[in-house]
Amino acid sequence: MKKFFSIMILCISIFTWAQQTELPFIGYRAFDIMKGYSGTGTPHYYLDLKNNGDVHFGYVQVNQASGEETTEEINVGKYAPNKVMKVVFKKYEETFFVKFDKEKIYLTDEKGNVKNLEGCCSSTESIKKETCTCESEFFK
């Protein structure tokens, strides 16, 4: 009986370890896809990838006039490589689709095609381009 429990614990440990190695990272990462709209009062978006594979998206927004802080965080499911995740923030009735890897996050359509929009250009890029790829590096 002891051998059986020992084998079960070993199998669960191996499975848990194997599941963790598939994740691109664990923890909190901030991002800024819509560079053209950043500024005072703009929400600061982040994702938090838990060690069990759960992906949480959230934002923090501070009203510059009143100093009031608005936050929201939601669980959008389990991580899978190239998986398109639907993020629905209820407070501001905002919905968008994203996918991410170890280094970057991408704003996509429902099928996973990365968007090219004017709002994704930084101020220096907008001088030369009309649209830019909607992607962002992660910030710790």
- With beta carbons less than 8 A apart as the criterion, state whether 33 and 135 touch: yes
pTM (2 d.p.): 0.78
Q: What is the DSSP letter of 139?
A: B
The type of residue at 8 is M
pLDDT tens, the chain, 140 aa long: 666 555 656 556 555 555 445 899 999 999 998 765 544 467 899 999 999 999 999 999 988 888 899 999 999 999 999 999 999 999 989 999 999 999 999 999 999 999 999 888 887 887 888 889 999 999 98
CA 24/CA 64 separation, integer angstroms: 35
* pLDDT at position 46: 97
Could you list the beta-strand ranges (E) of 32-89: 44-49, 54-62, 69-78, 85-89
